[in-house]
Amino acid sequence: MATVTELLQPVEQDLETLLSDLRSLIGAGHPILQAAAEHLFSAGGKRLRPGIVLLISRALSANGELTARHRRLAEITEMIHTASLVHDDVVDEASTRRGVATVHSRFNHRVAVLAGDFLFAQASWHLANLDDLEVVKLLSRVIMDLADGEVKQGLFRYDTGQTFATYLEKSYCKTASLIANSAKAAGVLSNESSEHLDSLYHYGRQLGLAFQVVDDILDFTGSDQQLGKPAASDLASGYLTAPALYALEEQPKLAGLIEREFSGDEDLAQALELVRASRAIPRSRELAETFAREAREALAWLPESPSRRALIELPEFVLGRLY
Amino acid sequence: MATVTELLQPVEQDLETLLSDLRSLIGAGHPILQAAAEHLFSAGGKRLRPGIVLLISRALSANGELTARHRRLAEITEMIHTASLVHDDVVDEASTRRGVATVHSRFNHRVAVLAGDFLFAQASWHLANLDDLEVVKLLSRVIMDLADGEVKQGLFRYDTGQTFATYLEKSYCKTASLIANSAKAAGVLSNESSEHLDSLYHYGRQLGLAFQVVDDILDFTGSDQQLGKPAASDLASGYLTAPALYALEEQPKLAGLIEREFSGDEDLAQALELVRASRAIPRSRELAETFAREAREALAWLPESPSRRALIELPEFVLGRLY
């Protein structure tokens, strides 16, 4: 099983350049933001999102070289992603993310709002200056989906009546939209046919959904240490993900525990037991596997190259986190 | 002297429609945001910014009618303005604005972050769908200027060494950029010549600067009640505006009071006295008058219409708040 560093090897140098460019772009002349930028663009994030844009860009390039506009698109993708994380951490009152202190807990929520706005603003400015209206539309759709997903997530807390479709829509908005639309945008900048653009979008969408379902499974199966946050924290906060929704179908008793917001001492532990005793985890795994397979199949047409191989292996890598 | 309602009379009905559209756009399906939207788009704001876009759009129209795209531009302008106010109030920890409770004090800072992001996201989505790359660039520049201005404002607190140019740049970013660029964007949608576009931009820029200088004067001359916030609150917070910067040129003692951040009991009162005893207020007034005159002159070429008359009178109205 490849590690993420091995997978991203074809664009390793590109990612280094991108992160150092982002640090200086955001920090330049603004001491308050500089510390936040150092924090955001140095800490151990996997940079999967810009990595995917860069891999697709290289895979689509006849000579394997990246254009300045493809690089800029990857930067914009990372800016939007980071901005939305910083603001979501304020909205969700999260104090750590993957074991690292969030901006609002390390600095304060005022710096977090400012840093997020600054990143969104830079992203929208650079986006406009890519001079491609279709790319502007794709990425502005992402910004809208991210805000929409964050609102939706809050709306359906502890709501045991929500449909599985609602969960998938929220996952699309919060995770898959950015990967899908930025993958397609890389294709737009490479003048791909509309058929290829659709398949790039589909690859990103299914990969993003696989990624989210895997994350949601790990919330139930991982330890605090592996997750960098308390295990089952999604469920405890009332966010009902694939495993919880599948378990609700089998274990009617679970609904009561959720609806009273785990107010009893043993409620959360009991809910976890109900989920684990059900077929929820294996079914969630099957769902993630389906999304991963669909992602892989979407790129069958790509010409052979190291970047293509990495893209095709990525869905498998995402599933690999489960084992 | 006309009231603002009289001035905006040519677009009064348009503004009503715009506000009700914005309320339903933002509130739709999101109970958390609905309350915030009601609060934001009902309270007594003057809606000068979309009003200016609508007046320009009508003034440039051969038949005096508005197109759907001009209306949408006015909406986007108000969304961006409101989003930035909501976030600035979090960053500045303001509990009231013009006497009305801010979103983060009425709800909490999480709702304020969410509501602001949602508005920015809607704005960028609708902006992209105006299908005009030049308009996208103009308004994304505004979003960047707003974030930049907020950062700059924080950077120069209590800094008596800052130049007057820094103050004007900050005022441009925070106030004039939106008016200037949205005025120009209305011209772009009306296919105006680049000469006319420049003069629309100049009108908005000088009007915005006049507006900001007048606001800054009122902070020194208004009562708490008139301002809807404590008088001299800018100075007390370390934000040095035109009157303070002019006074610093005449009253060297003022610098010491500011630099020790008014830590002595009588420091703020003494600083106010020094400003009022100087020529700072009359000089600031002259500055505002110059900006207002330049704004008026920029629109000399506009064909006669009720909307033109309102636009020409607006700078005078802005100054009128001083008397």
Dump the DSSP string for A255-318: HHHHHTTT-STTHHHHHHHHHHHTTHHHHHHHHHHHHHHHHHHHTTTSPP-HHHHHHHHHHHHH
Q: Tell me how crowded residue A43 is: count the other CB atoms within 10 A of its CB.
A: 12
Nearest-CA distance B117 → chain A (Å)? 6
Mean of the pLDDT values across residues A122-136?
Answer: 96
Among residues A101, A96, A150, the alpha carbon closest in space to that of B111 is found at A150
User: In chain A, whose CA is at the least distance from the CA of B156?
Assistant: A30
Nearest chain B Cα distance for residue A151, angstroms: 7
pLDDT, mean of residues B116-126: 92
Specify the DSSP class assigned to residue B2. Answer: -
Instruction: Classify residue B213 as left (phi > 0), alpha (psi -120 to 50) or beta.
Output: alpha
- Cα distances from B97 to residues A225, A262, A279, B100, B171, in angstroms, run 45, 39, 54, 5, 18
Interface check for A277 against chain B (CB to CB < 8 A): the answer is: no
Q: List the single residue in A113, A118, A155 with the smallest CB-CB distance to B113.
A: A113
The stretch B299-315 carries a mean pLDDT of 96
Q: Which residues of A touch B31 (CB under 8 A)?
A: 155
CA atoms of B262 and B252, how far apart (whole Å): 15
Q: What is the mean pLDDT of residues B6-27?
A: 88
pLDDT at A28 over 80: no
* Distance between CA atoms of residues B310 and A47, nearest Å: 52
Please give the average per-residue pLDDT across A157-162, as a whole number: 94
Residue range A187-245, pLDDT digits in tens: 999 999 999 999 999 999 999 999 999 999 999 998 766 666 667 889 999 999 999 99
Q: What is the CATH number of domain A4-320?
A: 1.10.600.10
Q: How far is B144 from chain A (nearest CA, A)?
A: 5
Dist. CA B44–CA B173, nearest whole Å? 24
Note whether A127 contacts B: Cβ–Cβ < 8 A: yes
B147-178, pLDDT tens digit by residue? 999 888 888 999 999 999 999 999 999 999 99
Query: A100 forms bridges with which residues in the sheet?
Result: A97
Cα B55 to Cα B306: distance, rounded to the nearest angstrom? 9
pLDDT at A293 over 90: yes
| C-beta separation of B310 from B55 below 8 A | yes
Domain regions of chain A by residue span: 4-320
Residue B254's pLDDT is 97
Q: Quick one: tokens of A15?
A: 């990612």
Contact A208, A293 (CB under 8 A): no
Separation of first and last alpha carbons in chain B: 10
Nearest CA in chain B to A143: B121
Give the three-state DSSP class for B96: strand
Query: Checking DSSP bridges between strand A96-97 and strand B100-101, what pairing results, if any?
Result: unpaired
Write down the pLDDT at residue A94.
75
Give the C-alpha distances (Å, rounded to integers) separating A211 from A234, A259, B10, B322: 16, 28, 54, 59
Q: What confidence tens digit (pLDDT) does each residue in B129-153 have?
A: 999 999 999 999 999 999 999 888 8
How many helices (H) and strands (E) would you count in chain A? 18, 2
Residue B268's pLDDT is 94
Average pLDDT over residues A153-172: 94
pTM for this model (two decimals): 0.91
Nearest CB neighbour to B136, from listed A93, A128, A148: A128
pLDDT at position A159 over 80? yes
| Residue B282: pLDDT over 60 | yes
Residue bearing the bigger pLDDT, A289 or B101: A289
For the record, the structure tokens of A104 come out as 């609002």
For the cut 60, the answer to whether the pLDDT of residue A43 exceeds it is no
Instruction: Dump the DSSP string for A198-252.
Output: HHHHHHHHHHHHHHHHHHHHHHHHS-HHHHTS-TTHHHHTT---HHHHHHHHH-T
Chain A neighbors of B33, CB-CB under 8 A: 151
Query: What is the spatial distance between Cα A37 and Cα A119, in angstroms, rounded to a whole number?
Result: 10
Which of B85, B97, B37, B27 shows the shortest CA–CA distance to A113? B85
Query: Who among B32, B90, B147 is closest to A118 (CB)?
Result: B147
Q: Is A87 touching B (CB cutoff 8 A)?
A: yes
Q: Residue A129: its chain B contacts at CB < 8 A?
A: 137
- B4 has a pLDDT exceeding 90: no
- Ranking A16-25, B227-236, B261-270 by mean pLDDT, the lowest is B227-236
Nearest to A185 by CA among A140, A139, A145: A139
| Mean pLDDT value of segment B297-318 | 96
The C-alpha atoms of residue A130 and residue B140 are separated, in whole angstroms, by: 12
CB atoms within 10 A of CB A121: 25
pLDDT digit string, tens, across residues A256-286: 999 999 999 999 999 999 999 999 999 999 9
